[in-house]
Amino acid sequence: MKVLVTGASGMLGGEVAKRLRDAGHEVSAFQRRPAGIDGVKDVCGSLTEAADVRRAVDGHDAVVHLAAKVSISGPEEEYRAVNIDGTRNVVNALRAQGGGKLVNTSSPSVAHFGEAIVGLDATAPEPTRARGPYARTKAAAELVAMEADGSDGILVTTLRPHIVWGPGDTQLVERIVERGRKGTMPLLDRGMALIDTTYIDNAAEAFVAALNRIEHVHGESFVITNGEPRTVRDFVVGLCDAAGVSRPRITVPGPAARIAGRVIEKVWELRPGYDEPPMTEFLAEQLSTAHWFDQRRTCERLQWKPRVSMDEGFANLKVYYDKQRD
């Protein structure tokens, strides 16, 4: 099968592209800069340019769409352009060539409305209730993708991987590790919120499974996790211990962090820093609210299950950081 992976320069996209390549598919990667993956053809362009996307999609049997604007701050129009309009460009490109398979990437945050999620399956995305520009636009993008299922020769399924992490992760792991080095990593409400996360190998294998099973699962959305809820504290401590940096010592009440995050967001809009703000209201909610999911339907329908446990993942991460220090 000829498969196009969007966003293959990222950790998850790159791992998905490699696994599809190793499974014998002819894989191309579409993003702004070359992904540089052996055996994977690079097609460079912008997700926001319809002509670029149509050129990249043309001739492919399937698209695994992972490219997105992922952040906790910034103008909402930037998120809309990449996440909503970009997804619409992918759908339209498939429609223009007469159809194809689409494994779309979303986020559990599309159905997180500031309250605890305890053992739920994938519930409907609601753009008007989702928290923050990333979640709102990913919710709308999921609706765009899923509305195309079953029309014009297009089959669509959506995966919502939750907090993907692993060796080489610069989005989450390295940020936590760096704050651990500086002693500035806070825990909200002592880090007692119970959350699900997903080790990179398990997430990538879920995407391959979804593509293999799309004739049977199209029209459905699935949350992807390790199925091992841990407290925020246990997860953060596991990352810090693997990297050999200090465990968090600062604890902040969740409600106070939410208020502070709201204020910091406003300040960042006026005087943006070179990096993301240290706290936002959305991030405070994520760090102080339980969110873990029932994986039974996901495992059954995709005929997939997590292969690497959390503890094995931490051990792999320790090997990675030990090598970095050598």
The backbone torsions φ and ψ at residue 35, rounded to the nearest 5 degrees and listed phi first, read -80, -30
Distance, CA of 32 to CA of 263 (rounded, Å): 33
Distance, CA of 255 to CA of 53 (rounded, Å): 43
Within 10 A of 69 (CB to CB), how many other CB atoms are there? 18
**Nearest of 248, 239, 244, 240 to residue 191 by alpha carbon:** 248
Which pTM does this prediction carry?
0.92
Question: Mind listing the pLDDT tens digit of every residue in the chain (326 residues)?
Answer: 999 999 998 999 999 999 999 999 999 999 999 989 999 999 999 999 999 999 999 999 999 999 998 875 677 899 999 999 999 999 999 999 999 999 999 999 888 777 778 888 888 898 888 878 889 999 999 999 999 999 999 999 999 999 999 998 888 888 888 888 888 888 888 889 899 999 999 999 999 999 999 999 999 999 999 999 999 999 999 999 999 999 988 887 767 666 766 666 666 666 655 566 665 666 667 677 888 899 999 999 999 999 999 999 999 999 999 988 76
User: Is there a catalytic annotation at residue 134?
Assistant: yes
Terminal CA-CA length for the chain: 41
Secondary structure (DSSP) of 88-119: HHHHHHHHHTT-EEEEEE--GGGG--SS-EEE
| Pairing of the two strands 117-120 and 100-105 | unpaired
Pick the catalytic residue: 79, 134, 199, 274?
134
Where are the domains positioned within the chain?
Answer: 2-162+198-226+292-308
| H helix or E strand, kind and range, residue 175 | helix 173-182
Domain 2-162+198-226+292-308 has CATH 3.40.50.620: no
